Amino acid sequence: MAPKKRKSAPQKSSMSGYIKGAGEVVSQAIVDTLEGNYMPYAMSVIMSRAIPEIDGFKPSHRKLLYTMYKMGLLTGARQKSSKIAGSTMALNPHGDAAIYDTMVRMTVAYEALLHPYVDSKGSFGKAYSRDTQAAASRYTEAKLAAIAAELFRDIDNDAVDMVDNFDNTMKEPSLLPVTFPAILCNSNTGIAVGMASSICSFNLNELIETTIQLLKNPKHNISSTLLAPDFPGGGQIIYNKDELEKVYHTGRGSIRVRSRYSYDREANCIDITQIPPTTTCEQIIEKVIDLVKAGKIKEISDIRDEQGLHGLRITIDLKRSTDPDKLMQKLFKLTTLEDSFSCNFNVLIDGSPRVLGVDGLLDEWIKFRMNCVHRRTAFTLGKKKEKLHLLEGLQKILLDIDKAIRIIRETEEEADVVPNLMKGFGIDEIQAEYVAEIKLRHINREYILKRTEDIENLRNEIADLEDILQSPQRIKKIIIGELKDVAKKYGQPRRSMILYSVEEASDDEISSVPDYPVNIFITKEGYIKKISPQSLRMSSDQKLKEGDSILQTFETRNVAELLFFTDKCQVYKAKAADFSDTKASVLGEFVPAVLGMDEDEHFKRCILTTDYSGYVLFAYENGKVAKAELNAYATKTNRRKLLAAYSDKSPLVSLLHIESDCDILLRTSNGKALIFNSEAVPAKTRSAQGNQIITLRKNAKLSEMLLYAEGMVKNESKFRPKNLPAAGSADDSQQGEQMTLM
């Protein structure tokens, strides 16, 4: 139900009265509001602001460049940027600040375009630096770059339409008659209302060669000549044929761009000199610092922004024994040192936004350029026909110059001179007007003969121009010739390297830290030490808490993972890299505190692995042994705590990590022992109760499980039962030890 209209009482003013209707609230359908207010705004942004047209320019670019052209800045000296911005306001009334920002992005100094259109002098900032801003317009100077001549070559020959500016006081071009596909030569991005445009740049030589081949053969495979985009900041393009084909034919897709770097062995640092066009130095540095603070990257000792007159450079100082290539693989994955340029080739074609692939854009540009050449040729033809027409009239007067002079002298009124010449020589009004305007000094045979010598050449030229207008193939040949001239003058080698095969860092490599050898010591009281071999050689005397002793030792690497099995049937996972490098002379880190174990929870054993291969054997007091595959504890996410790590039906006596099935020795509290092969126990789930291996008498319990080695018991054969479960045999080797302990 529509809301009722509500009127507020009009407030009388002390002045002449009140405004009629002021304060009245009127209901209005949302559709009407959108159509009347929002849609005109949206269309204005799309058509006149954010989306480029087939010549490669948005209106703001075109107005600025045309103003500079009319100011004579194509060949003249540089002028103050403030003067250029002020003059452009005659076409673009959006304020000098917006105009200056537009000019900055097109300058050589800013380095945002592969082929900049503005030759600049002064500080204009850098596209790759967020904090390096352009100086005020009063301090900088600019003129048009040499390549800008290709934008205006035919503009005075009716190649494009000239339209009124915003206040109808002067004319401006609706499009620029560019002689090369500028729409794909320089990158262009814009965000409109409900749509956006993002066009990457391509190498001028490759682009022109592709255009020439399409002019010769519309079915040409553009991938064979247009290898990949080429960005002004260089970098390395990771070649993906399917994604490039998608961009070439649909205008949508993404291009992965990777930074370029070099390693200075003497200084032990990495110098990054080229980055993707979608990021900045500051963004990269901030992300790397965050990764170092979070402990995800530990190979870096310092990072600095060293950009200056030499250009972009980010320097990363490395710690000793760091592999620079492996570090960069991780940084590519974790930072914008490798980033994607999202393509959305949205272009205004005849006033309508259309998303076209590279092939579609080049087809539209060829049509546009053929129309420009056709119009230019027609304009030139008209001028030559006018000249021929005048010279043909002059040629007729050559037959009797004295007669022409006599007609003019004998004509009493000036207005009758032209009609009398028309009658006297059989010429039209235009020719007669031309003859009448000839200076007296030029009414001689020599002058007229010289002027009429070109009549035959003009006729041949006119015939040739008429043939061009009737022949699309000849127009294409003209365009091909112009394209070759542009490539010869302004072509450059590729800046972006193409990587056809790349090395990718795996998730494990990314989440890890430097891979180097370490020694790990775990004590009964729950302390852990991670010591490098070099430090251990310098001092091997372990400092321990009073009453503490070493429970386990490992010689491994910093990439290993540790699984701590606790007395509450839980397992806590950690990486060796999670613990700090230390020395033998310190107590180490308290594992329950580091891993956040529950109150009164203690770990019983630690298993170390790098690939989760092998099995875990669990021995319980009731004589049962369970076997689980170690990869049952591997998780795709970085979960630190796993519940139900093993069965809770009987207290856990011991656990072992074995790579493959082997002999195991069990001992009981009443002096029995048994040897069996772990193959007898099938691998089951983590919380399985296991198989009965040894039978126990009343009040007896399993007390120990060990990896069996030859010589651990006397008369080994009697401890190997034929069938399981078995009672085991008396272990004489334990009796002596028990007597000693007593």
* Token pair in block for residue 35: 């159509």
Q: SS3 for 709?
A: coil
pLDDT tens by residue, 184-237: 999 999 888 888 899 999 999 999 999 999 999 999 999 999 999 999 999 999
State the catalytic residue, choosing from 139, 516, 615, 646.
139
- β 236-238/497-499 pair status: parallel
CB atoms within 10 A of CB 362: 25
Residue 50 pLDDT exceeds 90: no
> Nearest CA to 230 among 491, 503, 502?
491
Residue 260 pLDDT exceeds 60: yes
Pick from 26-30, 150-154, 193-197, 520-524: least confident? 26-30
pLDDT tens by residue, 533-568: 888 887 778 888 888 888 889 888 888 889 999 988
pLDDT tens by residue, 468-527: 999 999 999 999 999 999 999 999 999 999 998 776 655 555 555 567 888 999 998 889
pLDDT band at 723 (very low <50, low <70, confident <90, very high): confident
Q: H-helix or E-strand containing 397?
A: helix 358-398
Residue 298 pLDDT exceeds 90: no
The residue whose two tokens read 């397992």 is 571
Residue 60 pLDDT exceeds 90: yes
Residue 346 pLDDT exceeds 80: yes
Average pLDDT over residues 642-653: 89
- Which pLDDT value is given to residue 591? 87
The residue whose two tokens read 């505190």 is 593
Higher pLDDT, 123 or 19: 123
CA dihedral 323, 329, 333, 339 (to 10 degrees): 130
What are the structural domains, with CATH classification, of the chain? 1-38 (no CATH), 51-178 (3.90.199.10), 260-336 (3.30.1360.40), 373-490 (1.10.268.10), 515-606 (no CATH), 611-742 (2.120.10.90)
| Contact in structure between 734 and 690 (CB atoms under 8 Å) | no
Residue 35 pLDDT exceeds 80: no
Average pLDDT over residues 650-671: 90
- Which pLDDT value is given to residue 544? 86
* Token pair in block for residue 261: 């770097």
Report which residue type is found at 132. T
Round the average pLDDT of the chain to a whole number and report it. Answer: 87
Q: Is residue 139 among the annotated active site residues?
A: yes
> Nearest CA to 311 among 263, 273, 344, 271?
273
Report which residue type is found at 446. E
pTM of the model: 0.69
Cα–Cα distance between 58 and 661 in angstroms, integer? 73
Q: H-helix or E-strand containing 467?
A: helix 455-470
